[in-house]
Amino acid sequence: MTGKEYIESLRKYRPKIYFMGRRIESVADDPITAPHVNAAAMTYELAHDPRYEDVMTAVSHLTGERINRFNHIHQSTEDLVKKVRMIRVLGQKTGSCFQRCVGCDAMNAIYITSYNIDRKYGTEYHERVRQYIKYVQKNDLMPAGAMTDVKGDRSKRPSQQADKDLYVRIVEKREDGIVVRGAKAHITGAVNSHEIIVMPTRALEADDKDYAVSFAVPVDAEGVKMIFGRQTNDLRRLDGDMDCGNAKYATVGGEALVIFDDVFVPWERVFMCGEYDFAGELVEVFATFHRQNYGACKVGVADVLIGATANVAEMQGIARASHVVDKITEMIHLAETCWCCTLACSYEGFRTPSGAYMPNQLLANVTKLNITRFPYEWSRIAQDITGGIVITLPSEKDYRNPETRDLIEKYLKGVAETPTEQRMRMIRLVENLSIGAELPESMHGAGSPQAQKIMIARRSNLEMKKEMARIIAGIKEDEHFRKIRGVTEREFFSKLK
């Protein structure tokens, strides 16, 4: 599909989406959701552009056909690297979240985990996953990935909750499928996807068996309801194209609360059903893929912010000030550091028993943990350079008002060669990228910082580091030193005493 065809395809679906007390009838056309649709459409459009198709497309190992890389199951570390290269490009082209990586990660995660479930239990989930992915590839669909449950009382496991529906669960098993109930929160791109892939949100125990469920349904399946979340400044989308800062592609992903109100899922779309001992693995595999992405998408968006900040500096006549040059260089350094992390976790990726590749878990978590911090710093610098006007700029309506337009033109002028409107647009872009939903999304998307810390602690080898220190400090014998000097440390240093 091209970008245009993707938008047209959405008009054939009838998902139940609610926002601000009303139903969104056409997600492709409603001014609140349309910018997010445009951002997702970029993932389709660039796949048809010869300048980007090397990263935007791949050859399916299932069909041999060339497909959009977002629907690809990674077959090598080079595939993992190309995924993040694709994601950085899309961040640069949209200055926003293009949403499609979540479904990509969900497909790869269920592909890997379903294989492992089948090996242990002799089930047939993996073949179902392969058939489902073929269907997605053939029709070039965009599935949303839905992991985060609403969770209720966080101190209790799913089966211990007073309301049993606070984690998505199986409420009925039938001959032809299952019925599920519950809700998933913060689901990126759900409203403008074709499908939703559901996964458990945490490791589970035997009592939580009914919550060990993974499946896929179309977005307009009977019983699926979505409540589109509010964002800072979201109603500016109704006020023209200047005040948003990024009117074409919005900010972050357009997240929704997705409710499964007794939704029927046929067996061929069920990928886990009660295997609670694999829930933790599925979460961990998905999280690794998704945390890998953040060192690419946020860096692509940072490229736009760095450009916007440098433009503002020029428009305000401060571009040559040494501290401004230094600060912009600092922004670049921070962004490229995150890029190093995502490349590293991709190059250090490995083949799983299913044959699909996944990134290095430790390094993917380090990547995402940096993203919970560094964007705050590069945004701080952008706000510093832009000045207080980033939060006091008059509205587009005042700029268009004949009574105030000339005053704004005169008094908000920067350097002579820059029209005032261009300066205003650039300041708004800085505002869009450094204030509002962008930063909390960096914090919590793909998991909050503590989730990454837990994984980093678990995946690093602290005991080995302690032993290294004992050897260097002379507490434990250094076998290599003895070989180098031909005597033990004690014998070597006794000569000096």
Partner 1 sequence: MRIAVKYCGGCNPSYRREEIEEVLRKYFQVSYADSADLIVCISGCKKGCAAERARGEFLHFDEKIKEEEIVRKVKEKLLLK
Q: Which amino acid is at 250?
A: A
The residue ranges that bind partner 1 (CB under 8 A) are 348-351, 360-362, 459-461, 463-464, 467
CA–CA gap between residue 254 and residue 454 (Å, rounded): 28
Catalytic residue among 104, 244, 273, 297: 297
Instruction: List residues bridging with 257 in a β-sheet.
Output: 227
441 given a catalytic annotation: yes
Closest CA to 142 of 58, 50, 44, 235: 44
| HSE-up of residue 239 (Cα within 13 Å, Cβ side) | 16
Catalytic residue among 36, 77, 101, 309: 101
CB of 288 to partner 1, least distance (A): 11
294 given a catalytic annotation: yes
Catalytic residue among 195, 431, 438, 441: 441
Catalytic residue among 97, 244, 341, 345: 97
Collect contacts of 413-417 with beta carbons under 8 A, ≥24 apart.
Answer: 414/315, 414/316, 414/317, 415/314, 415/315, 415/316, 415/317
CB of 358 to partner 1, least distance (A): 8
188 given a catalytic annotation: yes
**Measured from the CB atom, is 416 or 464 closer to partner 1?**
464
Contact 145, 128 (CB under 8 A): no
Tell me phi and psi for residue 270, to 5 degrees: -100, 125
Catalytic residue among 57, 77, 94, 188: 188
Catalytic residue among 125, 249, 294, 357: 294
Grouping H, G, I as helix, E, B as strand and the rest as coil, residue 68 is: strand
CB of 351 to partner 1, least distance (A): 8
CA–CA gap between residue 371 and residue 445 (Å, rounded): 10
255 given a catalytic annotation: yes
Q: Which amino acid is at 122?
A: G
CA pseudo-torsion sign 149, 153, 159, 162:
negative
CB of 466 to partner 1, least distance (A): 11
CA–CA gap between residue 382 and residue 430 (Å, rounded): 7
CA–CA gap between residue 469 and residue 462 (Å, rounded): 11
**Measured from the CB atom, is 230 or 458 closer to partner 1?**
458
126 given a catalytic annotation: no
Closest CA to 128 of 155, 489, 476, 136: 136
**Measured from the CB atom, is 68 or 346 closer to partner 1?**
346
**Measured from the CB atom, is 220 or 467 closer to partner 1?**
467
**Measured from the CB atom, is 204 or 345 closer to partner 1?**
345
CB of 426 to partner 1, least distance (A): 43
CB of 350 to partner 1, least distance (A): 4
CB of 271 to partner 1, least distance (A): 23
- Alpha-carbon distances, residue 370 vs 1, 96, 293 (angstroms): 35, 19, 12
Residue written as token pair 């074409």: 248
**Measured from the CB atom, is 281 or 348 closer to partner 1?**
348
CA–CA gap between residue 183 and residue 166 (Å, rounded): 7
Catalytic residue among 72, 290, 396, 438: 290
**Measured from the CB atom, is 144 or 345 closer to partner 1?**
345
329 given a catalytic annotation: no
CA–CA gap between residue 454 and residue 121 (Å, rounded): 29
273 given a catalytic annotation: no
CA–CA gap between residue 275 and residue 124 (Å, rounded): 13
341 given a catalytic annotation: no
**100 Cβ neighbours under 8 A, 6+ residues apart:** 40, 43, 70, 142, 189
CB of 290 to partner 1, least distance (A): 18
**Measured from the CB atom, is 120 or 351 closer to partner 1?**
351
Contact 243, 36 (CB under 8 A): no
CA–CA gap between residue 291 and residue 372 (Å, rounded): 11
Sort 456 into a burial class: Cβ within 10 Å, 0-12 / 13-18 / 19+.
middle
Give catalytic residues, as residue numbers: 97, 101, 188, 255, 290, 294, 297, 441
